[in-house]
Structure 1
């Protein structure tokens, strides 16, 4: 037991490893969401995910939550926005989008998130992005547009725009805002923050889940659906959010967001083996543009840092 505790404490101090674990677990979330999209309604999946995660976390987080309640109340609007953008909205939009979008396309669109984080960091904290970062944002958005239009960026009207892609893009915008808002989070124990944001996210989703159930679309009590809820509640929720929040705390929002580029890599492998999805030409073209944008921003960023030094 002592060895496990010591190993966990060592892991807690390595942000790169924590953020890699978060990216890998979230990639599996996309694959599971796509795998069960025909049998489990999206809002129900998101609601029971956060309800289950909250119930599992409550015995560990409640003692700390009582102590940290004044600090949480002081930053109540930030806490509510974190619960709305990063918990309730993001995953619900992703599951809704995966009904018609492939997992690989959805994961590629996550790659633009780090650059959108720069936009929100500027809007919230007036940290002005460099010209190279703006160029990178433009290239990355062009790459996303290639994926969204399935390789026909200049002739988008020639096909029916996939509504699932629109949901995924809304989810990306929401989580970019969540990451930028983490800087304003109250200085409380990580378990307190996770417990309250997960619980608030489940409460926000409850009326929509009940409405979905009333319309005849409820969570089926099958082994597959229960296993899916257990996975998304324990791995992408508890493990990944804990790792990502800690990684963002140690490295900052902008640097932590860069690790989200690993999601298409992990996800493409998982989607190939579990969903039979194949990488097509427009996926590679979009990924190349996104990668060029990231490289432009990163290289010029390092050059500027050396110049300042």
Structure 2
């Protein structure tokens, strides 16, 4: 019982740290470009991730590196493209709105799994997918569905839609690829991204934090969402089933709202209503018959 309680606490903390990526990412993009945040985030996280991977997983690094084509593809999708689109979205939208759109990702992954992996979520999962996507529409249209036909979505919403599409591709590819130690895999991918972006940096340019707030935000992103969340998440998975753990991912939106309120971000009624609908839909999907199979990889 004590170990299960500790696992639940670890899952809650992991979700809280991942939620912080949205709020502190929103603060960081005020003075840094999305390219710079992605580059510096993973460069700072490389050494802690390597130490944690070695201590917890004792990996066979040569065997892991033998899968470098797969890891490189995943690095481009999950490490670079997803995060670049996320931070670009945070530059033109609020952290809470971005997290609400991201909350539909499990449902989108479930749809992709049906198409590409021939997984069946069951009737409850199907209803959950529909409900979650309906909640996202509430957020995107601010509760006025007529805007679906009269105007385009804002740039922030479009960037987040792009981000969750990329993350869906990353998750489906991950299920079809080799089974690798998760923290070790993240560490290798972070090295690949850091090296590639480091080579591009002289051409693209890197902006450093111009204020104490931006610097603190970058450090938070590099340490808590990039490193500690993965450790807590994988420790918890040794004690409870992944399907049950996946439900805790729904807390990311809740914690983002709490983080956002503490930093003075305004939250609208349509966002609250849409968020409740999204979470209800994702919970239904998580508790479908194939709940263990429908859980996405997590990288925020």
TM-score (norm 2): 0.81
C-alpha deviation, 1:94, in angstroms: 1.0
Structure 1 residues 77 and 167, CA, compared in 2 at 3 Å: closer, same or farther? Answer: same
C-alpha deviation, 1:146, in angstroms: 1.6
Among residues 48, 52, 67, which one is paired with 1:56 in the alignment?
Answer: 48
Q: Measure the CA separation in 2 of the matches of 1:187 and 1:77.
A: 14
Residues 1-309 of structure 1 aligned to structure 2 (within 5 Å): 15-58=7-50, 61=53, 68-159=60-151, 161-183=153-175, 186=178, 189-206=181-198, 209-213=201-205, 218-245=207-234, 247=236, 255-274=244-263, 276-297=264-285, 301=289
Contact 1:179 / 1:253 at 8 angstroms: preserved in 2? no
Q: Measure the CA separation in 2 of the matches of 1:24 and 1:73.
A: 31
Contact 1:22 / 1:240 at 8 angstroms: preserved in 2? yes
Equivalenced residues, count: 289
Q: Measure the CA separation in 1 of the matches of 2:174 and 2:235.
A: 10
C-alpha deviation, 1:247, in angstroms: 5.0
Structure 1 residues 207 and 165, CA, compared in 2 at 3 Å: closer, same or farther? Answer: farther
More helix by share: 1
- Tell me the alpha carbon deviations over residues 228-249 of structure 1, each in whole angstroms, 9 at most, x when there is no partner: 2211111010111333455567
Structure 1 residues 114 and 60, CA, compared in 2 at 3 Å: closer, same or farther? Answer: closer
Structure 1 residues 154 and 15, CA, compared in 2 at 3 Å: closer, same or farther? Answer: farther
Q: Measure the CA separation in 2 of the matches of 1:24 and 1:287.
A: 16
CA RMSD of aligned residues (A): 3.3
Q: Measure the CA separation in 2 of the matches of 1:239 and 1:159.
A: 41
Ranges in structure 2 where 5+ consecutive residues have no aligned partner? 291-300
Q: Measure the CA separation in 2 of the matches of 1:60 and 1:154.
A: 50
C-alpha deviation, 1:19, in angstroms: 2.8
Ranges in structure 1 where 5+ consecutive residues have no aligned partner? 1-6, 303-309
**Structure number with bigger Rg:** 1
Structure 1 residues 61 and 300, CA, compared in 2 at 3 Å: closer, same or farther? Answer: closer
TM-score (norm 1): 0.78
C-alpha deviation, 1:263, in angstroms: 1.0
